[in-house]
Amino acid sequence: MNPTNRFLKFALDLYLGRRGYRASLIAYGLGFWAFAGGMFLFLTWPETSSMTAQVLRATLINGGLLVLVLMTYPIIYCAFKIDDETRPKSQFRRILEPTIVGALAPFYVMLLVASFINSFAGPILLGFN
C-alpha cells in the first residue's frame, strides 16, 4: 500500500469515527490551534505585502476551520458509542464536550465559507483586485 493510500485510509477512518473519541478530539484540537495560529497572523499582520505570509495565513485559517468542521461528526458519534474504549468515563464530559462542539459547528461553517470566499474565491471572481 503506497503512502497516499495509507493517508487517505487514515483520514477516512478518522472522519468516520473508527479511530475513537480521543483521536477525534485530538484532531479537533489541532484544527483549532491551526485556526488560532492563522487568526494570530491575520491580526498581527493585517496588511502584509509578503505573499508567503498571506498564503500561510490563508492555509492555516482555512485548513484549521476545515478540520474543525469535519471533526464535529466523529466527536459526537464516538461520544455516544457504547463500545468505544477511548470515550470519557464521566457522563458529564460525555455529554458536555459533544454539546459544545455541536453548538460551535454552525459558527465554524459560517467562518469557513466567509474565509474561503475572502481568501480564494473572491480574488478569482473579482479579477485579482
- Say whether pLDDT at 129 is over 60: no
Say how far apart CA 74 and CA 87 lie, in whole Å: 12
Tens-place pLDDT, residues 53-79: 888 888 999 999 999 999 999 999 988
Q: Given a cut of 80, is residue 94 above it in pLDDT?
A: yes
% of residues, the chain, pLDDT over 70: 95
The pLDDT value given to residue 40? 92
| 65, 9, 96, 92 alpha-carbon torsion, rounded to 10° | -160
Which one has a higher pLDDT value, 107 or 1?
Answer: 107
Q: pLDDT at residue 101 above 80?
A: yes
Cα dihedral 25/31/35/36 (nearest 10): 50
What per-residue confidence (pLDDT) applies to 100?
Answer: 93
Residue 64 CB neighbour total at 10 angstroms: 24
Nearest of 7, 73, 60, 74 to residue 30 by alpha carbon: 60
pLDDT of 128: 60
Distances, alpha carbon 127 to alpha carbons 65, 120, 121, 122, 123, in Å: 25, 11, 10, 8, 6
Mean pLDDT of the chain: 87
How high is the pLDDT of residue 53? 84
